[in-house]
């Protein structure tokens, strides 16, 4: 193992360590919430999701800003839907958002047996075949509400490398980092850039990446996403080329009513990277769009997906 990888793992271990300052009174309410969540996770998933949907509906009512952003995004992305159907999708998204609190709890505390029992998997053989062939693999996904649970499931087969933006809340940041580090997963601080990810890819770690957010990065191009020009990062092309990796889209759906989860490993992107940043961005966005259309209420519609606009065009928010 290279010295650079050892240093990265040492830094990751430090970030996963508990600090006594986490017991400061300003964190007590959060610890109480976590304790309640830890107890509730023992309930059946349909019960948990029923509670979560109630929470989500309250969030829908009180958070005007996020509701407004979600309405704009869904209006832009689903113009063919009737207005009533678009409004219904926004509400279902917020209900799914509330339920995802308990999906995260399942990710943190449920046994592997329970997660296995709750999950139907499609296309796993394709992924395992690539691993057995010694291929470097980048698992591409979007900002779905199940992104942590998805990573938790497939990292049991082989540890992966992923990226994480540090959160302001130190306790929640610690808990989330610790959860994402299970099964040997290497979690890279997003501020470190892509070089650590490339090192791990070359060491044989599959990458697990979300690249659908408008980062405002200059290393981006405008490519259609749901028919809307989206400022799309081109870093996936560089990662695949430098890391000599194939790109496989992966998505997890949380079934309505707490009926479990569906995990999809979609076919590897063809002719990727092509050497053309725009063509690759279109290819990536088409794969992401196909996954989101399969489970539209699970996507993070409350993000400002289209905040960067072509010259002369105003942001819709």
Per-residue pLDDT tens digits for 152-198: 999 999 999 999 988 888 898 899 998 898 888 999 988 888 899 99
Instruction: Check residue 31 and give its pLDDT.
Output: 95
Instruction: Check residue 264 and give its pLDDT.
Output: 98
By the 10 Å C-beta count (0-12 exposed, 13-18 middle, 19+ buried), 138 is classed as buried
Instruction: Check residue 14 and give its pLDDT.
Output: 53
By the 10 Å C-beta count (0-12 exposed, 13-18 middle, 19+ buried), 20 is classed as exposed
Instruction: Check residue 279 and give its pLDDT.
Output: 98
273: preceding bond cis by omega (within 30 degrees): yes
Mean pLDDT score across all residues of the chain: 93
Nearest 5 degrees, angle CA 55-CA 56-CA 59?
90
Q: Any idea what DSSP says for residue 217?
A: -
Neighbours of 32 (CB within 10 A): 10
Nearest 5 degrees, angle CA 306-CA 231-CA 71?
15
CA 76 → CA 114, 134, 213, 289, 303, distances in Å? 38, 41, 16, 13, 13
Torsion angle defined by CA atoms of residues 116, 253, 52 and 182, in that order, rounded to the nearest 10 degrees:
50
Instruction: Check residue 3 and give its pLDDT.
Output: 59
Instruction: Check residue 13 and give its pLDDT.
Output: 46
Digit-coded pLDDT (tens) for 264-298: 999 999 999 999 999 999 999 999 999 999 999 99
Q: Is the pLDDT of residue 146 over 70?
A: yes
CA 183 → CA 21, 160, 167, 304, distances in Å? 27, 9, 22, 32
Sign of the dihedral through C-alpha 76, 79, 84, 85: negative
Q: Using 50, 70 and 90 to split pLDDT, how confident is the model at 216? A: confident
Instruction: Check residue 157 and give its pLDDT.
Output: 94
Instruction: Check residue 167 and give its pLDDT.
Output: 83
Rg (CA), the chain: 20
Instruction: Check residue 127 and give its pLDDT.
Output: 97
Q: Is the pLDDT of residue 213 over 90?
A: no
What interhelical angle do 195-202 and 235-242 show, nearest 10? 30
Neighbours of 10 (CB within 10 A): 9
* C-beta of residue 209 within 8 angstroms of C-beta of residue 236: yes
Higher pLDDT, 16 or 141: 141
Instruction: Check residue 17 and give its pLDDT.
Output: 78
Digit-coded pLDDT (tens) for 76-126: 999 999 999 999 999 999 999 999 999 999 999 999 899 999 999 999 999
Q: Using 50, 70 and 90 to split pLDDT, how confident is the model at 51? A: very high
What mean pLDDT do residues 130-152 have?
Answer: 96
How far is Cα 133 from Cα 252, in angstroms, rounded to an integer?
A: 25
Q: Beta strand pairing status for 207-210 and 228-233?
A: unpaired
Instruction: Check residue 11 and give its pLDDT.
Output: 53
How far is Cα 295 from Cα 255, in angstroms, rounded to an integer?
A: 9
Q: Which residues of 258-292 are buried (b: 16+ CB within 10 A; e: fewer)?
A: beebbbbbbebbeebbeeebebbbbbbbebbbebb
Q: How many residues does the chain have?
A: 317
Q: What is the largest CA-CA distance in the chain?
A: 57
Instruction: Check residue 193 and give its pLDDT.
Output: 85
* C-beta of residue 90 within 8 angstroms of C-beta of residue 133: no
Q: Is the pLDDT of residue 4 over 70?
A: no
How far is Cα 31 from Cα 256, in angstroms, rounded to an integer?
A: 29
Instruction: Check residue 215 and give its pLDDT.
Output: 81
* C-beta of residue 291 within 8 angstroms of C-beta of residue 299: no
């Amino acid at each position: 193992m290279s010295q650079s990888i050892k240093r990265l793992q040492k830094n990751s271990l430090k970030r996963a360590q508990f600090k006594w300052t986490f017991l400061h009174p300003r964190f007590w309410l959060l610890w109480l919430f976590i304790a309640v969540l830890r107890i509730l996770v023992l309930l059946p998933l349909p019960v948990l999701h029923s509670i979560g949907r109630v929470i989500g509906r309250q969030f829908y009512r009180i958070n005007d800003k996020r509701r407004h952003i979600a309405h704009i995004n869904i209006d832009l992305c689903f113009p063919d839907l009737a207005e009533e159907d678009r409004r219904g999708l926004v509400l279902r998204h917020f209900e799914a958002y509330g339920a995802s609190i308990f999906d995260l709890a399942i990710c943190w505390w449920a046994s592997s047996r329970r997660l296995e029992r709750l999950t139907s998997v499609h296309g796993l053989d394709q992924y395992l075949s690539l691993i057995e062939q010694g291929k470097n693999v980048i698992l591409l996904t979007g900002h779905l509400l199940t992104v942590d649970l998805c990573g938790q499931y497939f990292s049991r087969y082989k540890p992966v490398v992923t990226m994480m933006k540090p959160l302001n809340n130190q306790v929640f940041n610690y808990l989330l980092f610790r959860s994402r580090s299970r099964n040997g997963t290497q979690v890279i601080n997003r501020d470190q850039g892509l070089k650590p990810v490339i090192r791990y890819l070359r060491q044989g770690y599959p990458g697990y990446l979300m690249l659908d957010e408008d980062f405002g990065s200059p290393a981006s191009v405008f490519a259609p996403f749901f028919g809307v020009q989206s400022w799309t990062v081109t870093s996936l092309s560089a990662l695949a080329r430098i890391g000599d990796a194939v790109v496989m889209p992966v998505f997890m759906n949380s079934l309505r009513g707490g009926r479990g989860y569906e995990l999809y490993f979609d076919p590897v992107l063809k002719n990727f990277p092509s050497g053309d940043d725009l063509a690759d961005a279109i290819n990536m966005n088409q794969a992401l769009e196909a996954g989101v259309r399969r489970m539209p209420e699970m996507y993070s519609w409350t993000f400002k997906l289209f905040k960067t606009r072509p010259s002369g065009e105003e942001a819709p928010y």
